[in-house]
Amino acid sequence: MSGHSKWATIKRKKAATDQKRGSLFTKLVKEITIAAKMGGGDPSGNPRLRLAIDTARSNSMPMDNIQRAVKKGTGELEGVTYDEITYEGYGPAGIALIIETATDNRNRTVADLRHIMSRNNGSLGESGSVSWMFQRKGSLEVPVSAASEEALMEALLEAGLEDLSNDGGDTYTVITDVRDLEAAKKALEDQGIPFENAKMDLIPENYIELEAEDARKVIKLIDALEENDDVQSVYSNMEISESAMNSLED
């Protein structure tokens, strides 16, 4: 999982910029609205909604915004109807990409994505072209300062832990089956161990390791995709070499 951990480090550094752009709240509102529409407005019986609300609250979204998004999803308030569409494709150096979108205009979204990909040495592929490389998993991060690896293993082994890794940075990455993510969160809460960035993730079965030049190109493409308001998440099978990671952090 080293590639996942290194990419997570880059993503955390980008998070503050995303919030400043204002795009983060837009994406969170869409996720809450869709989750409420699909599974109802009660977070206790809708794990996807509970996770979306937890993420929104951890990013300081006001409760009024969260409640309005839930009510739009359940139909209590008028709102835009979003379709969830997943696109697949390739980036520089043959990196596989999965792009999850929530849109009220499919034609606009696919045209925008094609434009972004073509300008950044990427291309959209057909459905199924790369999705077979990825598995949906639960993931969260625990600060290294919060617990030892042994303590985490002990807390999570009976809560569905599948993988625990550290890229040499300041966090552990915890991977679980999707169905066990809530159990893992509860196990950590019961032990008083803080965590962050709990989410449903797409984890590739294998990674392609890139050096700095190609890594920068892929990150530039992913940045451009994530800046689009219709794009909710972008996943790749990029792994960043140690030397490239040091170069990117300079």
The verdict on 221 and 118 lying in the same domain is: yes
Let me know: does 87 contact 96? Beta carbons within 8 Å: no
Tens digits of residue pLDDT in 25-38 = 899 999 999 999 99
Residue 4 has pLDDT above 50, yes or no: no
CATH number at residue 127: 3.30.70.980
Q: Please indicate, yes or no, whether residues 231 and 144 belong to a single structural domain of this protein.
A: no
Return the pLDDT at 20: 52
**Averaged confidence pLDDT in the chain:** 88
Token pair listed for 139: 């993931």
Q: Judge whether 221 and 99 are in contact, CB under 8 Å.
A: no
Domain that holds residue 30: 2-74
pTM listed for this prediction: 0.86
For the chain, state the CA radius of gyration.
Answer: 18
Q: Among candidates 119, 112, 146, 136, which has minimal Cα distance to 229?
A: 112
What pLDDT is stored for residue 13 in this prediction?
52
User: What letters, b where the CB count within 10 A reaches 16 and e where it falls short, cover 74-94?
Assistant: beeeebeebeebebbbbbbbe
Query: What is the per-residue pLDDT for 67?
Result: 96
Say yes or no: 97 and 217 in one domain. Answer: yes
98 three-class SS: strand
Q: Are residues 48 and 90 part of one domain?
A: no
- Over the stretch 142-200, which tens digit does the pLDDT of each residue have? 999 999 999 999 999 888 899 998 876 788 999 999 999 999 999 999 999 999 889 99
Q: How much is the pLDDT for 14?
A: 53
Q: What is the pLDDT of residue 41?
A: 95
Co-location of 211 and 122 in the same domain: yes
Same domain? For 128 and 214 the reply is yes
pLDDT of 247 reads: 73
pLDDT at 33: 96
Clarify whether residues 119 and 173 are in a common domain.
no
State mean pLDDT over 120-147.
94
The one-letter amino acid at 163? D
For residue 102, give every residue at least 6 positions away whose Cβ sits within 8 Å of its Cβ, in sequence order, or none: 27, 30, 31, 34, 82, 83, 84, 230, 232
CATH of the domain at 10: 1.10.10.200
Dihedrals phi, psi of 202, to nearest 5 degrees: -110, 120
Q: pLDDT tens digit string along 83-126?
A: 999 999 999 999 999 999 999 999 999 999 999 999 999 999 99
- Taking only the tens place, the pLDDT of each residue in 36-49 is 999 999 999 999 99
DSSP H/E element including 1? none
pLDDT in the model for residue 186: 92
- 69 and 103 share one domain: no
Question: 1 falls in which pLDDT band (50, 70, 90)?
Answer: very low
**Structurally, how many domains does the chain consist of?**
3
My answer on whether 50 and 114 are in the same domain is no
Per-residue confidence (pLDDT) for residue 123, from 0 to 100: 96
pLDDT of 58 reads 87
Boundary of a domain, candidates 34, 56, 74: 74
% of the chain beyond a pLDDT of 70: 90
